[in-house]
Chain A
């Protein structure tokens, strides 16, 4: 099987996996980064969202070949202490319920704030509509994104 090099949460990694392996399973099964979640396998729910060279992507639908040589940030690497403005805002707004989709929600929100430090509700709709939450936390997700923006979501973050 081929070997691929990529940078994950700031650290260079080499992985030996089949060339059609989605980035999601490289992160979860090979690199033990289980904060990245499997939800649908088809880019429909956003639970697997990570940053690829700073942009939010669905890792379940990103083959390892498309991630090779690039920078990948997962929830584990969003902030060294897990205290990115988005994570702090999430706690303050008491967003999570079951929590399964929330790491994907947070990665989408962090990418949004990196692009638009003070997003409108329409910006939030556009950026977050790909992230499904079956617990229905959307109203709190929206509030938390606005709160993170007030906290300076972009500046306070680690790697976007």
Chain B
């Protein structure tokens, strides 16, 4: 998700508290919408912090843990102010409830690398309020003034007398106290948790096989469904023969859905065999003739037309006309599947008056709304249980799996888990858009660009995902090309929308994935035309952008930019801003046979104030591998309206033996926290392609990297 909305400080969360059982409960409530009547609602037991009579601190998180580490980061934010060891905090997943709405979306959801950005201050405020309530309760019990008490390690102590009370002893009394609204937060100089390495709180469960992912949900009487989906996007069922499917032992129901025909059985294997035994007749619809080659040709035609203007500064056309030199290059990128390790799935149980959904979802609010609509019940009647997500990367912002599960449970009147096969998962995704982009630049006599011109042809994610918000311009299509930090006086960027029938969605770092590749490869070409070193050239252009310049310099220095390498090796660089963070990467590559080999990646990241350096490093490594898999091999191609690839033999993520050495350097920063999950992905493809150019003299202008693009020029 692009975080187009900005965090409105006036909307900042207010604090409140209430009793729940015997303990203290502190929550963060969003202000009621303007015009709402009456007093604020009382706090329910699903608030953000609970301190039990046993002294156990529970942090309730309204966001989804998909590997990015928020179930460690959010407790750390609380721990800092509440003066407890983060490792002792119990984490609980919140239900779907607008009190947990992400302030950047206005929905409860996880995406756009927003969680820590949105919750950095509110979680600390909740922790500080809880601490002061506990301290006030202790002051009252001891008959001492608050300022003579020290709060540390889950106790409130009077050091002079040695008297101390534990949080468990204080919880009930603290819960009866008013919630302080303006507790000063600790200054960063006093932090003892934030900015320090903290191992993940979910690690033990995950290495023991005890973590429950969506696919692991078990319920009494649970049935499993596998769905035959039209191989062509947009196709519909015209008829089916289920006789053979019904003969498979364990098959209970065959149900037609909007998405296709589902076989519902006692377990996965019977459902899968039943699904494979179905004969379904399809109306393949308007996309049945589509091929990747035809789409590319269509894009090339459309690139001759003008598009909707996304940015216009100065007069790029005039500057191009008057330039000492002009340069043009065309870039193409393919569709990409997400291929999370856990295939899509969802479990639902629809009863007459209530629905429960167990979902590995990034969007609780939309999950709840979708289930309510299908069940014909109000959203409040739908309880959403968010499980661990076996990878998200944007795929689990979608609702297709929720839709299937709720419809099936409603139809067969039993709890149903729908499971995608890996083939279903790869062939029925919402893909990173394929795009075709024309880049033009004019250079002055000093070699520096005077004009920057881009025309992107591609589909819109937002028009499908947020149709009510779509105003004709999808900023995610051009993000990274419009705002890049390079000081160029005349800039023009436009977008030609074309919907091929292949659905497109959010893919780790969204438009930045392809646009950083295009921008950073193109800038590298300009440096070459100018006869300048790629790092030196960027330094000149980034003179007005200290944070991009800072990571560029850090990466170049740590990578030994300019120092000699063994024969057959070369370096390439790229730098990019996304999701409020700044990342530069230097890749060291060689070519073995006809394939690129990436030996080392040096990453410098300025993500603002760091919550957990271990997580930031892990996310940079992760984002680099994700982007590298795409650059080296990632490609979804279309033939007769169908996805050609089907499993990990022909859609091949990076494997252990291909893993480069990745070194992550965090550039110290006191700025507000930036995103962490996505910003490491955009620079890797261009860094690798620029390094390959240094070896071969050939520019790579399409992804994935092909053997024929590696032959020496």
B202 in the interface (beta carbon within 8 A): yes
| B240 in the interface (beta carbon within 8 A) | no
Q: How far is the CB of B70 from chain A (nearest CB, A)?
A: 11
Are A101 and B621 in touch, CB under 8 angstroms? no
Task: Please give me the 6 A-B residue pairs with the lowest Cβ-Cβ distance, nearest first.
Answer: A35-B209, A136-B625, A100-B390, A98-B67, A99-B206, A97-B67
1/0 per residue, CB under 8 A from B, across A16-36: the answer is 011011100100111011111
Nearest to B205 among chain A residues (CB) is A99
Q: On chain B, which size bracket covers the interface?
A: 35 or more
**Stretch from B263-271, B277-285, B474-482, B533-541 contacting the other chain:** B263-271
Question: Is there a chain A Cβ closer than 8 Å to B662's Cβ?
Answer: yes
Interface centre among B208, B216, B266, by most chain A C-beta atoms within 10 angstroms, is: B208
Least Cβ–Cβ distance between B230 and chain A, in angstroms:
21
Distance, CA A82 to CA B649, complexed state (A): 33
Say if the beta carbon of A132 comes within 8 Å of chain B: yes
User: Do residues B391 and A136 form an inter-chain contact, with CB atoms below 8 A?
Assistant: no
Q: Do residues A29 and B657 form an inter-chain contact, with CB atoms below 8 A? A: no
Which of B135-143, B320-328, B336-344, B590-598 is the interface stretch? B336-344
Which single member of A37, A101, A136 contacts B654 (CB below 8 Å)? Answer: A136
Interface size on A, residues (CB 8 A): 61
Q: Is the CB of A39 within 8 A of B207?
A: no
A139-B662 contact in complex given A29-B269, A41-B421, C-beta closer than 8 Å: yes
Do A18 and B270 have beta carbons less than 8 Å apart? yes
On whether the beta carbons of B200 and A96 are closer than 8 Å, the reply is yes
Name the distance in Å between B60's Cβ and chain A's nearest Cβ.
20
B184, CB-defined interface residue at 8 Å: no
For residue B371, give the distance in angstroms from its CB to the closest CB of chain A. Answer: 23
State A39–B200 Cα separation when bound (angstroms). Answer: 24
Interface presence of B622 (CB below 8 A) = yes
Out of A17, A35, A87, A100, name the residue touching B341 (CB < 8 Å): A100
Report the separation of the CA atoms of residues A133 and B621 in the bound assembly, to the nearest whole angstrom. Answer: 12
Report B-chain residues with C-beta under 8 Å of the C-beta of A75: 208-209
Question: Counting CB contacts under 8 A, is A156 at the interface?
Answer: no
Q: Which of B210, B267, B343, B392 is within 8 Å of A25, CB to CB?
A: B267
Please, could you name 20 A-B residue pairs with CB atoms under 8 Å apart, sorted by A?
Answer: A18-B249, A18-B273, A25-B267, A29-B266, A38-B215, A39-B342, A39-B343, A45-B422, A91-B204, A91-B207, A97-B67, A100-B213, A103-B206, A129-B657, A134-B340, A136-B659, A138-B625, A139-B621, A139-B659, A141-B656
Instruction: Write the chain A residue with the least CB distance to B210.
Output: A35
Residues in A whose Cβ lies below 8 Å from that of B657: 125-126, 129
Rounded to whole angstroms, the CA-CA distance of A103 and B458 in the bound complex is 39
Alpha-carbon separation in the docked complex, A20 to B391 (Å)? 30
Complex Cα spacing A32 to B212, Å:
12
Interface status of B661 (Cβ within 8 A of chain A): yes
A135 within 8 A of B: yes
Q: Are A94 and B649 in contact (CB under 8 A)?
A: no
CB contacts under 8 Å to A, within B66-80, are 66-69
